[in-house]
Chain A
Amino acid sequence: MSVERIGRPAAPSPSEFATVDLAHWRERARSFERELGQVIAGQKRALHLMTIAVFARGHVLLEGDVGVGKTTLLRAAARGMGGAYERIEGTIDLMPADFVYHTYLAEDGRPRVEPGPVLRHGSDLAVFFFNEINRARPQVHSLLLRLMAERSVTAFNREYPLPHLQVFADRNRIEREETFELPAAARDRFLMEIGIEAPQDLETRRQLAFDSKYHDADALVATVPEAILDHVQLGAVAKAIQHSVHTSAALERYVLDLWQAVRYPQTAGISIPGVDMARFVQGGASPRGVSYLLRAARVAAWLAGRSMVVPEDLRDVFVETMAHRIFLDPVYELRRDALVRGLCDALFETVAAPSDGA
């Protein structure tokens, strides 16, 4: 069996970065964020993080209550990014084959197999939205793992590259029945886990309830200008950003200190009330996680118009990029959200920036 590799673009050479007009792209990124803000009310931070994820080419897991606008947000983002968009609903009987193949009985009565949702648009697929990811079985998760890590999928005896693919997944955190918790490996491959909460601000709440603009999601999404960003170029832009934004030795030291402190909080002098710090963090904060953190921080710095990463950028994206990679002692797992957030806050209150060390 031979697997044919087709159409994978070569990595851009450093000279290619010079052709990317980053200042212009920054304006486009800001207008993307602004346009989404017109559609999604009261989710300023989520939109900012989403923009960072888009320019870091990272996959995003959205988590939140039912009906807070996760799907609308993703649809609007997909429209703004341009390119093809596919979505699939996670169900307990969903199988990996349902992703790649569409099987049906044709008019002549013979079974047919055609490309499924992932393959339908070929390499043009820009956004793949997996709704209610935790309802799908682990074998589906493992296919998704490949899709996210390698941006390719094997079907019909050949490998289909999906170079522009960005996976958005959505997890309903209210229901626990008939759901499968995402394996750590799958969670680790998401750049960010963004929590979407209903807006607390009264005026925004009033708008959401009474402004007829927000009642029809389809019409609302249609107001977003199509292809504010160009999904084909995003990869090159992302590389140029990573290349152009500087990280100094002091920042490297700071990241290493943070990493050490998140893994061994007790040695960094962090304590959380009611928690045995010696056994609190069991693992996680993988090297991939830290590299993702820096990727996101570079984009955040770029969006803020800076050519260097500063500790504030790390703090800005830390919870969303790192919290889901920290594995706790099972005793603390039920109180995870509050405890991990407390740990992250304590980290930035404790680790010195810039560090005194050489």
Chain B
Amino acid sequence: MILRVLAGALFLVLGNGVARADTPTVHVVEPRSVGYFIGDVLTRDADVAVADDAKIDPASIPRPGPLNYWLELKSVDVDEYVRGVRKHYRIRLAYQTFYAPLEPRKLEIPAIRFRVLRPERESTLAVVPSWSFISSPLREIMPEKNGEGGPAKLLRADAPVSLSSTTLERTSMAIAGVTAVVALLLLAHHLALWPFHRRRRRPFTQAMRTVRREAAKAAQSANYRLALLALHRAFDEASQRRVLAEDLDSFLVARPEFESLRPDIERFFQTSRRAFFADDMLGSRAELTLSDLATFATSMSECERAVA
């Protein structure tokens, strides 16, 4: 008999244990239930114990967001740990109330149902029950009857606005601005960008303009002389030294783009020699006219531009 009683008791204990192990249990640590104002945050800690092979369906965990017009679920933190044969979920739910009651009022946070899944079993529910708290008004709505005070009495005066000094920020910004501008200028100079970019000089193009201008005038030895000189100076500038007739080879080595014009350049130098050093200006004008010179200058200028 005693054995039967003992066996019965053992069965009950074990059966109960098995039943406890199977059924999820929820233990909630609530915050204080009174003394809340609009904007306060309430934190509920729920401890859900489930069987070790069970788990809470993640889809049943509520997502943070507004629950109704005055209550918002700010955050849900879920921690998992194992104690004994059970698996525990520590779920921290933070609510914020936006309810503005005119007098102390009881408000209710709705229950949450977690679905607990277990392999090869039906899912069960673990319920965090609804919970009530009392929210208080922020201030007295009705002014005092005796007419004293007024809105000034009702509201606490705002803290005076203090103007913080921005001198440091403004100075730093000015220094940074100047530094940036200087740095950009230096960079532009280094990369030879505008305004430091100087286009490669085109002496022959310049000479071409002079020669054409002279060619447009009446044909005279003075014009012819100026045209020849303009071309000579262009040769000088193009090779950064004075170029004489015999320097033609070294000139063409330094500026190979003019190689195709070698016969013309030779002819120019021969004519110039005749004009300046044999005092035969008329003869040279007959040999190479001003318009020939203009054509020559144009082709030199074209060669020059083709490279630049």
Contact = CB atoms under 8 A, between A and B. Distances in A.
Q: Do A and B bind each other?
A: yes
Interface of A: 246, 248-251, 307-312, 315, 348-354, 356
Interface stretch (B36-44, B112-120, B275-283): B275-283
B276 A312 contact: no
16 contacts: A246-B277, A250-B276, A307-B278, A310-B244, A311-B244, A312-B244, A348-B242, A352-B232, A352-B233, A353-B244, A354-B228, A354-B229, A354-B272, A354-B276, A356-B229, A356-B233
A349 B232 contact: no
B90 interface: no
B187 to A, nearest CB: 31
Contacts of A307: 278
A349 B278 CA distance: 23
Contacts of B182: none
Interface of chain B, helix or strand or loop or mixed?
Answer: helix
Nearest to A351: B242
A309 B228 CA distance: 19
B279 A246 contact: yes
Interface of B: 228-229, 232-233, 236, 241-242, 244-246, 272-273, 276-279
A251 B244 contact: no
A244 to B, nearest CB: 13
Contact of A315 (B233, B244, B272, B277): B244
Contacts of B241: 349
A307 B236 CA distance: 26
A194 B277 CA distance: 28
Nearest to B274: A308
Contact of B242 (A308, A309, A352): A352
Q: Which of A250, A307, A315, A356 has the most B CB atoms < 10 Å from its CB?
A: A250
Is the contact region of chain A dominated by helix, strand, or loop, or is it mixed? mixed
A251 B242 contact: no
Contacts of B233: 352, 356
Contacts of B236: 352
B242 A248 contact: no
A315 B246 CA distance: 11
Nearest to B272: A354
A309 B277 contact: yes
A354 B243 CA distance: 10
Nearest to B222: A358
A354 B236 CA distance: 11
Contacts of B279: 246, 248-249
B229 A251 contact: no
A311 to B, nearest CB: 5
Contact of A250 (B242, B244, B246, B277): B277
Contacts of B276: 248, 250-251, 354
A308 B274 CA distance: 9
Contacts of A249: 279
Nearest to A307: B278
A246 B280 CA distance: 12
A249 B245 CA distance: 18
A245 to B, nearest CB: 11
A310 B242 contact: no
A312 B246 contact: yes
Contact of B273 (A310, A348, A356): A310
A52 to B, nearest CB: 16
A312 B245 contact: yes
Contact of A308 (B244, B272, B278): B278
A356 B276 CA distance: 11
Contacts of A248: 276-279
